Amino acid sequence: MLIAANWKMHKTGRETVRFCRELRDRLAKLDAGVEVVVCPAYTSLDEAVEALFGTQIGVFAQNVHWEDHGAYTGEISAGMLVEIGVTGTLVSHSERRQLFGETDETAAKRVEAALKARLRTIACVGETDAEREAGEAEAVLERQVKAIRAVVPKGGTDLLTIAYEPVWAIGTGKTATPEQAEEAHAFIRKLLDVPVLYGGSVKPGNAAELFERAHVEGALVGGASLETDSFGAICEAAAAVPS
């Protein structure tokens, strides 16, 4: 089970350090079967790595560029992340797709570069409300997952995780039902055999019922990851699921 905190554009370096210390203390006795990572803003990655050094909690970035270096103002490469001790990254979050022009093609290039740099990679997929209403959810997932699958080297799936994040459930308080999540995860799993996390309004109150589903192998948590109490409770709910 993998539980990842996606902080988006929240928390300064100082706030990051405070959170990481609290989380470290809270999760000191967490079951070893649960892996926890935080994904701070670029400016706080360094501080998070330092604050969590020697703990079981990992630090991932929220995005990565596909080139090693070059004239790409405002971008960050995989090598830059690796050098400061970051061990993974999110890719193709729906906010990147919707607000910053991420396409299946650019998502695939990022996944390819991240895997090549040996970064753990959580690639996000998910349909919008309109797509689900139109009965296109599976077609959208298939297109998104196949674009990612095309760049995964043979035998190179060990570093890859998919996050199923229905866009209609992100930050809306509207969570997919465990049945909807299970169905989408099983569908994704048939296309690409890697662990699948669920994301979209995961909270302490609904985490356990999601984690009980066989195909839900963790969560990508936004809003509820900003406080140690709620994020800690979600990690504990994951630890309580019999493996």
Between 6 and 77, name the residue whose CB sits nearer to ligand PGA: 6
Shortest spacing between CB 91 and ligand PGA, in angstroms: 12
Which residues are catalytic, by number?
93, 165
Residues near ligand PGA (CB under 6 A) are 6, 165, 170-171, 199-202, 220-224
Between 45 and 83, name the residue whose CB sits nearer to ligand PGA: 45
Residues whose CB is less than 8 angstroms from the CB of residue 172 and which lie 6 or more positions away in sequence, other chains included: 200, 201
Between 25 and 172, name the residue whose CB sits nearer to ligand PGA: 172
Shortest spacing between CB 53 and ligand PGA, in angstroms: 25
**Which residue number is nearest to ligand PGA in terms of Cβ?**
222
Cβ atoms of 135 and 127 within 8 Å: the answer is no
Query: Which of 67, 62, 135 is closest to 93 using CA atoms?
Result: 62
Shortest spacing between CB 177 and ligand PGA, in angstroms: 15
Question: How is 43-112 classified by DSSP, letter by letter?
Answer: GGHHHHHHHTTTSS-EEEES--BSSSSSS-TT--BHHHHHHTT--EEEE--HHHHHHS---HHHHHHHHH
Shortest spacing between CB 220 and ligand PGA, in angstroms: 4
Query: Tokens 């999110």 map to which residue?
Result: 90
Q: Extract the tokens encoding 162.
A: 């998919």
Instruction: In whole angstroms, give the CA distance from residue 168 to residue 130.
Output: 9
Between 30 and 39, name the residue whose CB sits nearer to ligand PGA: 39
